[in-house]
Amino acid sequence: MTNKTTTIIAKAMALNTIFALGVSAETIFIDNITVFDSTGSDPFVADVIIEKGRFSAIAPELKQPANTTLVNGEGLSLVAGLSDIHVHWTANRSVVATELLRYGVTTATDFHSSPDSYAAKREWHKSHLISPHVAYAARIAPPGGHGADWADERMTRLVASPEEAKKVMEYLDDYQPDVIKVFADGWRYGNPKSDTDISLHALQELTHQAKTRGWPVLTHTVTTDGAKRAALGNVTAIAHAIQDEKATDELAALLVDHSVFYAPTLAVYEMRPDKIASYSPAQIKAGESRQQNSEYNLSLFNEAGVTLALGTDSGIGRTPFGESSVREMELMTNFGVSAKEALIAGTLGSAEALGVGKDRGTIEVGKRADFVLLSGEPWKNISDYRNVSAVYVDGILVVKDGELVGQQGPEIPPATPALAMIDDFEGERGLTQYGTLRRADLDYSFPRSHVLMVEKPGSEKGDHNLSVTIELENKPKPKAGVIFPLSEGSFVPVDASEFSAVAFDINAKPGSYIIAMDAYGGSGTATIDVISGWQKIVVPFDSFTGKKPVNIELLRSIGISVAGSGEESFWLELDNVRFIK
Confidence band, pLDDT 50/70/90 cuts, at residue 11: very low
> What string of H, E and C letters represents the secondary structure of 465-478?
EEEEEEECCCCCCC
Confidence band, pLDDT 50/70/90 cuts, at residue 503: very high
pLDDT, residue 22, reads: 37
pLDDT, residue 427, reads: 84
pLDDT, residue 112, reads: 96
- Among the CATH numbers 2.60.120.10, 3.30.70.20, 3.20.20.140, 3.10.350.10, which is that of 82-316? 3.20.20.140
DSSP string, 530-579: E-SS-EEEEEEGGG-B-SS---GGGEEEEEEEEE--TT-EEEEEEEEEEE
Cβ-Cβ contacts under 8 Å for 62 (sequence gap 6 or more):
1, 29, 46, 47, 48, 49
Residues 313-344 pLDDT 10s: 999 989 999 999 999 999 999 999 999 999 99
Mean model confidence pLDDT for the chain: 93
Mean pLDDT of 565-580: 96
pLDDT, residue 192, reads: 79
Residues 384-417 pLDDT 10s: 999 999 999 999 999 999 999 999 999 999 999 9
Quote the CA–CA distance of 545 and 523 in Å, as a whole number.
8
pLDDT, residue 32, reads: 97
Residues above pLDDT 90, as percent of the chain: 91
Confidence band, pLDDT 50/70/90 cuts, at residue 18: very low
Q: Calculate the dihedral angle through the C-alpha atoms of 485, 487, 488, 491, rounding to the nearest 10 degrees.
A: -100
Residues 122-176 pLDDT 10s: 999 999 999 999 999 999 999 999 999 999 999 999 999 999 999 999 999 999 9
Confidence band, pLDDT 50/70/90 cuts, at residue 294: very high
pLDDT, residue 23, reads: 43
- Among the CATH numbers 1.10.150.120, 3.20.20.140, 2.60.120.430, 3.40.50.800, which is that of 416-580? 2.60.120.430
| Backbone dihedral angles phi then psi of residue 129, each to the nearest 5 degrees | -115, 145
pLDDT, residue 15, reads: 34
Cβ-Cβ contacts under 8 Å for 461 (sequence gap 6 or more):
none
pLDDT, residue 274, reads: 86
Residues shown for the chain: 581
What is the number of alpha carbons within 13 Å of residue 67 lying toward its C-beta? 3
The amino acid occupying position 444 is Y
Mean pLDDT of 448-457: 95
Residues above pLDDT 70, as percent of the chain: 96
Do the bridges between strand 555-563 and strand 44-51 make them parallel or antiparallel, or are there none, so unpaired?
A: unpaired
The residues that bridge with 135 in the sheet, in sequence order, are: 109
Quote the CA–CA distance of 464 and 430 in Å, as a whole number.
12
pLDDT, residue 428, reads: 82
pLDDT, residue 230, reads: 98
Mean pLDDT of 447-458: 94
DSSP 8-state secondary structure symbol assigned to residue 199 = P
Residue 459 has pLDDT above 90, yes or no: no
Quote the CA–CA distance of 361 and 309 in Å, as a whole number.
11
Residue 297 near residue 223 (C-beta atoms within 8 A): no
Would you call 182 helix, strand, or coil by DSSP?
strand
Confidence band, pLDDT 50/70/90 cuts, at residue 17: very low
pLDDT, residue 2, reads: 36
DSSP string, 301-355: HHHHTPPB-----BTSTT--TTHHHHHHHHHHHHTT--HHHHHHIIIIIHHHHTT
Residue 175 zone, left/alpha/beta (φ > 0; ψ -120 to 50; rest): alpha
Identical fold for domains 82-316 and 416-580, yes or no, is no
Burial class (CB in 10 A: 0-12, 13-18, 19+), 353: buried
| Backbone dihedral angles phi then psi of residue 492, each to the nearest 5 degrees | -90, 120
Residues 175-206 pLDDT 10s: 999 999 999 999 988 887 899 999 999 999 99
Q: Calculate the dihedral angle through the C-alpha atoms of 304, 306, 307, 313, rounding to the nearest 10 degrees.
A: -120
Confidence band, pLDDT 50/70/90 cuts, at residue 20: very low
Burial class (CB in 10 A: 0-12, 13-18, 19+), 278: exposed
pLDDT, residue 462, reads: 72
Cβ-Cβ contacts under 8 Å for 549 (sequence gap 6 or more):
522, 524
pLDDT, residue 14, reads: 34
Confidence band, pLDDT 50/70/90 cuts, at residue 3: very low
Residue 24 has pLDDT above 70, yes or no: no
pLDDT, residue 107, reads: 98
Residue 239 near residue 218 (C-beta atoms within 8 A): yes
Confidence band, pLDDT 50/70/90 cuts, at residue 277: confident
Q: Calculate the dihedral angle through the C-alpha atoms of 401, 403, 405, 409, rounding to the nearest 10 degrees.
A: 170
Mean pLDDT of 32-60: 97
Residue 526 near residue 539 (C-beta atoms within 8 A): yes
Confidence band, pLDDT 50/70/90 cuts, at residue 12: very low
Quote the CA–CA distance of 82 and 454 in Å, as a whole number.
46
The residues that bridge with 537 in the sheet, in sequence order, are: 504
pLDDT, residue 96, reads: 98
DSSP string, 46-99: EEEEEETTEEEEEETTPPPPSS-EEEE-TT-EEEEPEEES-B---S-HHHHHHH
Mean pLDDT of 372-377: 98
Mean pLDDT of 286-292: 93
pLDDT, residue 104, reads: 98
pLDDT, residue 290, reads: 94
Query: Helix %, strand %, coil % for the chain, to 5?
Result: 25, 30, 45
Confidence band, pLDDT 50/70/90 cuts, at residue 430: confident
Domain range annotation of the chain: 82-316, 416-580
Residues 234-246 pLDDT 10s: 999 999 999 999 9
Mean pLDDT of 259-270: 96
